[in-house]
């Protein structure tokens, strides 16, 4: 079983819809939780970063962490065609003074105009 | 500020050959990490270099190696290529300002195809 599980999709939604992307994890030692967005033929770029359980909002994006359930989510409100990309969750833990990052496999999102 | 650059962008090799990929981090970033990305396995950590020293290594065979130069540029080498090495190889640099979960800035990757 992978440490981080993420549904690969693809997820197809109409423009303006609310999108929910999710990851589950098994290692309770994970400390920081991130969401990256990766456009086709590009490297991932950091979208959101959070540490504690609860919600963090940034514009149309909300990151949610539930440490008790080992579950994180990314919500996109008023989705736009430009949001079409692969979204990767990532988590870090302290391993010998070094922050070890583990990525999910990514969910491919398509927003249809 | 220029982003992370990787060369070449695309590469086709045959089994048994070796390949060297190059990464130039963002100016001032001293940490460089390498990842392999495939559809089935996602992003898998290969290794990380900081100040010319390998600080951490993922679970890849010894055919995968790397190094970092004094100007922070990094190279990754794969010897005796196998079909399963076909992947997108991503390089990421980090400023390591806080020492905890610093943001990683990714390059566009090198698409390696092994025939």
How far apart, in whole angstroms, are the C-alpha atoms of residue A85 and residue A10? 10
Radius of gyration of chain A (CA): 14
DSSP state of A59: T
pLDDT confidence of B22, banded at 50, 70, 90?
very high
User: What are the DSSP E strand ranges found in A26-81?
Assistant: 32-38, 45-50, 54-58, 61-66, 71-76
What are the tokens at B109?
């990757």
pLDDT confidence of B91, banded at 50, 70, 90?
very high
Model confidence pLDDT, tens digit, residues A47-106: 998 888 889 999 999 999 999 999 999 999 999 999 999 999 999 887 776 778 899 999
User: Cα–chain-centroid distance for residue A94?
Assistant: 20
User: Using a CB-CB distance cutoff of 8 angstroms, which residues of chain A are in contact with residue B41?
Assistant: 105
Determine, for residues A43 and B103 on separate chains, whether the beta-carbon distance falls below 8 Å: no
Mean pLDDT of B41-67: 92
Residue A95, beta-bridge partner list: A98
Q: Among all residues of chain B, which has the CA nearest to that of A43?
A: B108
Those residues with Cβ within 8 angstroms of residue B97's Cβ, 6 or more apart along the chain or in another chain:
none
Determine, for residues B42 and A92 on separate chains, whether the beta-carbon distance falls below 8 Å: no
Determine, for residues A100 and B108 on separate chains, whether the beta-carbon distance falls below 8 Å: no
Determine, for residues A42 and B90 on separate chains, whether the beta-carbon distance falls below 8 Å: no
- Whether the CB of A99 is below 8 Å from some CB of chain B: the reply is yes
How far apart, in whole angstroms, are the C-alpha atoms of residue B42 and residue A105? 4
Predicted local distance difference test score (pLDDT) of residue A45: 93
What are the tokens at B40?
């089935």
Predicted local distance difference test score (pLDDT) of residue B101: 54
């Amino acid at each position: 079983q992978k440490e981080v599980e993420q549904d690969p999709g693809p997820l197809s939604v109409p423009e303006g819809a609310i999108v929910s992307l999710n990851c589950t994890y098994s290692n309770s030692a994970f400390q920081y939780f991130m969401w990256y967005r990766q456009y086709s033929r590009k490297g991932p770029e950091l979208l959101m970063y959070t540490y504690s359980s609860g919600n963090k909002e940034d514009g149309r994006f909300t990151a949610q962490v539930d440490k008790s359930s080992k579950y994180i989510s990314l919500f996109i409100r008023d989705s736009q065609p430009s949001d079409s990309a692969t979204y990767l969750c990532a988590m870090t833990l302290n391993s010998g003074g070094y922050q070890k990052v583990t990525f999910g496999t990514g969910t491919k999102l398509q927003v249809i105009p | 500020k220029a982003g992370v650059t990787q060369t070449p962008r695309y590469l086709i090799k045959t089994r048994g050959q070796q390949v060297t990929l190059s990464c130039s981090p963002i100016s001032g970033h001293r940490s460089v990490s390498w990842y392999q990305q495939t559809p089935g396995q996602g992003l898998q950590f290969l290794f990380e270099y900081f100040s010319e020293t390998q600080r951490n290594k993922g679970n890849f065979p010894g055919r995968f190696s790397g190094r970092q130069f004094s100007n922070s540029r990094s190279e990754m080498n794969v010897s005796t290529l196998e079909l399963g090495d076909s992947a997108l190889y991503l390089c990421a640099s980090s400023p390591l300002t806080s020492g905890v979960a610093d943001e990683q800035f990714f390059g566009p990757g090198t698409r390696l195809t092994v025939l």
